[in-house]
């Protein structure tokens, strides 16, 4: 288990290095990071002064080494518009996004889990049909549109909840609902499929023959085995969830890191964008590593397989 | 992913068909049974494709023509008139004409992105699965790096650096999309490499090109078709989400996501302006998802 942990950590650092390199390649090699800073029509010597002050007159390999060594530690310099370290500006907004993402994943597990088990308990029943229809719609309706419709119904027509992201518990409910729909639908389908498969296994027939109650077979025997793929999937959803959070934050003007990043694009605040990418990647890697460790803890067979090669399970 | 198939009970849908040798070898279904959900999916896709192809001829109103007397007109049947059957936006532009114009952007873009991502993903997946070793290590590392950068985040980086263009959004979609192919194809190639008939072909003296092109790739075709259908729906979602956030195609290009963004600003007074483009996006997603599910059930043996 310790070996697995070390292996996973090593792999996470390697992936983070990859993310940092991609960021450098896009923003410093392919693009011009100072395009938003140099005023149009500035004389060449002013432009050269600005470039020199940001170290952009040095050879590319030197710039890359400098950028990578600082970026791996989270140092992206000062935000151009806020005049303070870019990482601090992102971290300040992080709790709001974490609250949104955690509430959304909790909702997704609760609703998706319930619908998945209910559908698998009686395949072909109206319950099953209803749950599958809900899952189909949940996967087809874009989060930004669902968010807009939720605002319309709950904030405008019913006046129950605030339309835009106010600080406080009420402001997070509608964004979390919009964000939870897709992962809830996907989890429902995954859990239903693996439950139906598990319920056909021999040991379930044995449990039934022993005269165990339907409820006990369903929850204690089948769900326990069917939950593992669902758990692995939930870990891999971290990336999708954070990407979706950016969209939902845009819809609701919610004060998280996604809204900050969208503002940073508009003002071309490059250090802030870089710090944002870094924080998101670190969060995804953290959640994936954790999900991998929990899965290995539940199922010992995964330990050997995962230790053989560090990558996340496909 | 389990199939969602309302017309056929899951046990019946998964029952293995009596397989003809060639069909079985290629992984294609040899019997095509009627499926209600697949019929809905294919009908939705056909309707959208028709809209994109002959829409402008059938509904000749220009998507940029402004009818300022009729701003935010409701759809026909909701208090509107047949002159603008789906209503108008805040500049009085006809929503139906803009839905057609958006279909001519979103559908080709998502198909192109799906195809390009498929070529990249299948190539890397086959290389990783067939060669193994350090090639496999690099491809797995690349895919984990990609998974740590969600598509919106990648789009934010690209837009912050290069601004808006078709090439940039295509880049974002392809860079985001290849991983789904590579991961599945890698595993399948690993399994197929060990197959007895691959061994036999190798023993007969087949070179790597013949082995991959004549023996391996045809056996991956069904999987690629399933993945591509599912990915095309995801591409529609990605593209419209980016356009909604203002990270997609800028300027005067009409996109469904851009229409929904414009409608969102008027959601308090004219909810239909956001509802119509959203429903069109959902219909396209539903079409691709239902068709993909159906292919996935048929392809499973």
Q: What is the DSSP string of chain B?
A: -----SSS-HHHHHSPPPPPHHHHHHT--S-----HHHHHHHHHHHHHHHHHHHHHHHS---TT-B-GGGTTPPPBTTTB-TTSTT-B-TT-BBHHHHHHHHHHHHHHHHHHHHHHHHHHHHHHHHHHHHH-HHHHHHHHHHHHHHHTS-HHHHHHHHHHHH-S-HHHHHHHHHHHHHHHHHHHHHHHHHHHHT-HHHHHHHHTT--HHHIIIIIIHHHHHHHHHHHHHHHHHHHHHHHHHHHHHT-S--TT---HHHHHHHHHHTTTT-THHHHHHHHHHHHHHHHHHHHHHHHHHHH--
Structure tokens at B260: 């929904």
Instruction: Measure A136 CA to nearest chain B CA, in Å.
Output: 7
Structure tokens at A197: 């498969």
> Residue A281 domain-assigned?
no
Q: What are phi and psi of A78, to 5 degrees?
A: -85, 145
Q: What is the CATH number of the domain that holds A215?
A: 1.10.3720.10
Number of Cβ within a 10 Å radius of residue B106: 26
Q: What are phi and psi of B76, to 5 degrees?
A: -60, 130
Are B144 and A312 a contacting pair, CB within 8 Å? yes
How deeply is A305 buried, as exposed, middle or buried, from its count of CB atoms within 10 A (0-12, 13-18, 19+)?
A: exposed
Residue with tokens 């990605």: B238
Q: How many domains does chain A contain in total? A: 1
Instruction: Measure B244 CA to nearest chain A CA, in Å.
Output: 8
pLDDT mean values, one per 10 residues, chain B (301 residues): 36 37 43 68 88 80 74 71 73 81 87 92 89 86 88 84 82 89 86 80 78 80 84 88 81 80 78 84 89 74 43
> Residue A123 domain-assigned?
yes
Q: What are phi and psi of B80, to 5 degrees?
A: -95, -175
What gap in Å lies between CA B116 and CA A38, rounded to an integer? 36
Q: What are phi and psi of B10, to 5 degrees?
A: -55, -35
B196: Cβ contacts below 8 Å, ≥ 6 apart? none
Are A24 and A308 a contacting pair, CB within 8 Å? no
Furthest C-alpha separation in chain A: 87
Architecture of domain B95-300: Orthogonal Bundle (1.10)
Least Cα distance to B169 among B123, B120, B112 occurs for: B112
**What is the domain extent for residue A133?**
86-266
Rounding to the nearest 10 degrees, give the CA dihedral for residues B121, B127, B133, B138.
-30
| pLDDT, tens digit (0-9, with 9 covering 90-100), for A173-194 | 888 999 999 888 888 888 888 8
Which residue in the set A244, A264, A314 is minimally distant from B187, CB to CB? Answer: A314
- Asked if A142's CB is within 8 angstroms of B241's CB, the reply is yes
pLDDT of residue A300: 66
Q: What is the CA radius of gyration of chain A?
A: 24
B121: Cβ contacts below 8 Å, ≥ 6 apart? B177, B178, B179, B180, B181, B182, B185
- Asked if A19's CB is within 8 angstroms of B149's CB, the reply is yes
Structure tokens at B246: 């203002």
Task: Determine the length of chain B.
Answer: 301
Q: Give start and end residues of each alpha helix (H) in chain A.
A: 2-24, 44-53, 60-71, 86-121, 126-140, 143-150, 170-199, 202-209, 214-216, 223-252, 257-266, 270-298, 301-308
What gap in Å lies between CA B30 and CA A131, rounded to an integer? 30
Number of Cβ within a 10 Å radius of residue A40: 5
Tell if the pTM clears 0.90, that is, is over it: no
What gap in Å lies between CA B109 and CA B103, rounded to an integer? 10
CA atoms within 13 A on the CB side of A186: 21
Interface test with B, best of A7, A22, A142, A306 (most B CBs within 10 A): A142
> Residue A249 domain-assigned?
yes
B208: Cβ contacts below 8 Å, ≥ 6 apart? none
Answer yes or no: is the ipTM higher than 0.90.
no
pLDDT mean values, one per 10 residues, chain A (314 residues): 79 88 80 68 77 76 84 82 85 89 89 86 81 86 87 72 58 87 87 79 77 75 73 74 88 86 83 89 87 73 50 36
pLDDT of residue A309: 39
Q: What is the CA radius of gyration of chain B?
A: 22
Chain A hits for B137, CB-CB cut-off 8 Å, are 309
Structure tokens at B180: 């789904």
- Asked if A192's CB is within 8 angstroms of B2's CB, the reply is yes
Residue with tokens 């496909």: A314
> Residue A32 domain-assigned?
no
A21: Cβ contacts below 8 Å, ≥ 6 apart? A64, A68
| Interfacial B residues in 132-151 facing A (CB < 8 Å) | 137, 140-145, 147-151
- Asked if A280's CB is within 8 angstroms of B150's CB, the reply is yes
| DSSP, residue by residue, A151-167 | IIIIIIIS--S-SS--S
Task: Determine the length of chain A.
Answer: 314
B99: Cβ contacts below 8 Å, ≥ 6 apart? B51, B86, B256, B259, B276, B277, B280
Evaluate the CA torsion angle A185, A191, A194, A195 in order and state its sign. negative
B191 contacts chain A (CB < 8 A) = no
pLDDT of residue B117: 92
Instruction: Measure A124 CA to nearest chain B CA, in Å.
Output: 7
> Residue A112 domain-assigned?
yes
> Residue A309 domain-assigned?
no
- Asked if B183's CB is within 8 angstroms of A243's CB, the reply is no
- Round to the nearest angstrom and report the end-to-end CA distance of chain A: 20
Furthest C-alpha separation in chain B: 77
């Amino acid at each position: 288990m310790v070996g697995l942990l070390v292996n996973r950590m090593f792999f996470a650092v390697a992936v983070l290095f990859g993310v940092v390199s991609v960021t450098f390649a896009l923003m410093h090699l392919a693009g011009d990071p100072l395009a938003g800073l140099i005023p149009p029509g500035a004389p060449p010597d002013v432009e050269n002064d600005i470039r020199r002050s940001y170290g952009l007159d040095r050879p590319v390999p030197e710039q890359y080494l400098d950028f990578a060594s600082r970026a791996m530690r989270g140092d992206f310099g000062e935000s151009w518009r806020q005049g303070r370290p870019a990482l601090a500006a992102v971290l300040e907004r992080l709790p709001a996004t974490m609250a949104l993402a955690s509430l959304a994943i909790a909702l997704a597990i609760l609703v998706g889990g319930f619908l998945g088990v209910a559908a698998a308990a009686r395949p072909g029943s109206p319950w099953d049909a209803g749950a599958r229809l809900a899952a189909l719609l949940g996967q087809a309706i874009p989060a930004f549109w669902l968010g807009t419709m939720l605002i319309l119904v709950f904030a405008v027509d019913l006046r129950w909840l605030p339309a835009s992201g106010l600080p406080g518990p009420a402001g997070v409910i509608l964004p979390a609902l919009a964000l939870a729909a897709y992962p809830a639908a996907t989890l429902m389908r995954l859990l239903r499929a693996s439950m139906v498969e598990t319920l056909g296994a021999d040991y379930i027939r044995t449990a039934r023959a022993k005269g165990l109650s339907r409820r006990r077979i369903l929850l204690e025997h089948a769900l326990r085995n069917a939950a593992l793929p669902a758990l692995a999937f939930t870990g891999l959803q971290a990336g999708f969830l954070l990407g979706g959070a950016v969209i939902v934050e845009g819809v609701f003007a919610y004060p998280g890191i996604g809204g900050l990043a969208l503002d940073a694009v508009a003002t071309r605040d490059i250090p802030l964008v870089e710090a944002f990418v870094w924080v998101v990647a670190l969060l995804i890697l953290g959640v994936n590593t954790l999900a991998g460790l929990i899965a290995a803890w539940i199922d010992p067979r995964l330990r050997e397989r995962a230790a053989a090669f560090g990558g996340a399970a496909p | 992913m389990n199939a969602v198939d309302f017309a056929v009970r899951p046990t019946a849908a998964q029952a293995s068909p009596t397989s003809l040798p060639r069909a079985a070898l290629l992984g294609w279904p040899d019997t095509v049974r009627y499926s209600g959900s697949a019929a809905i999916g294919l009908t939705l896709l056909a309707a959208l494709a028709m809209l994109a192809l002959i829409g402008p001829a059938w509904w000749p109103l220009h998507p940029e023509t402004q009818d300022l007397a009729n701003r935010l007109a409701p759809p026909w049947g909701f208090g509107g008139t047949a002159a603008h059957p789906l209503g108008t936006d805040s500049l009085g532009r006809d929503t139906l004409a803009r839905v057609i114009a958006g279909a001519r952007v979103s559908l080709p873009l998502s198909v192109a992105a799906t195809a390009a991502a498929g070529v990249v993903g299948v190539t890397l997946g086959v290389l990783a699965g067939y060669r193994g070793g350090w090639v496999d290590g690099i491809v797995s590392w690349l895919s984990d790096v990609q998974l740590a950068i969600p598509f919106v985040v990648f789009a934010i980086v690209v837009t912050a650096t290069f601004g808006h263009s078709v090439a940039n959004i295509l880049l974002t979609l392809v860079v985001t999309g290849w991983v789904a192919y590579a991961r599945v194809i890698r595993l399948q190639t690993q399994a197929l490499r060990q197959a007895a008939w691959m061994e036999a072909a190798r023993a007969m003296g087949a070179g790597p090109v013949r082995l991959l092109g004549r023996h391996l790739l045809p056996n991956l075709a069904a999987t690629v078709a399933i993945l591509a259908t599912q990915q095309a729906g995801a591409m529609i979602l990605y593209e419209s989400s980016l356009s909604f956030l203002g990270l997609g195609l800028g300027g005067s290009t009409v996109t469904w996501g851009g229409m929904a963004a414009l409608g969102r600003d008027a959601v308090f007074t004219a909810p239909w302006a956001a509802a119509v483009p959203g429903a069109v996006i959902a219909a396209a997603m539903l079409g691709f998802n239902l068709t993909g599910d159906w292919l996935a059930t048929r392809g499973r043996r």
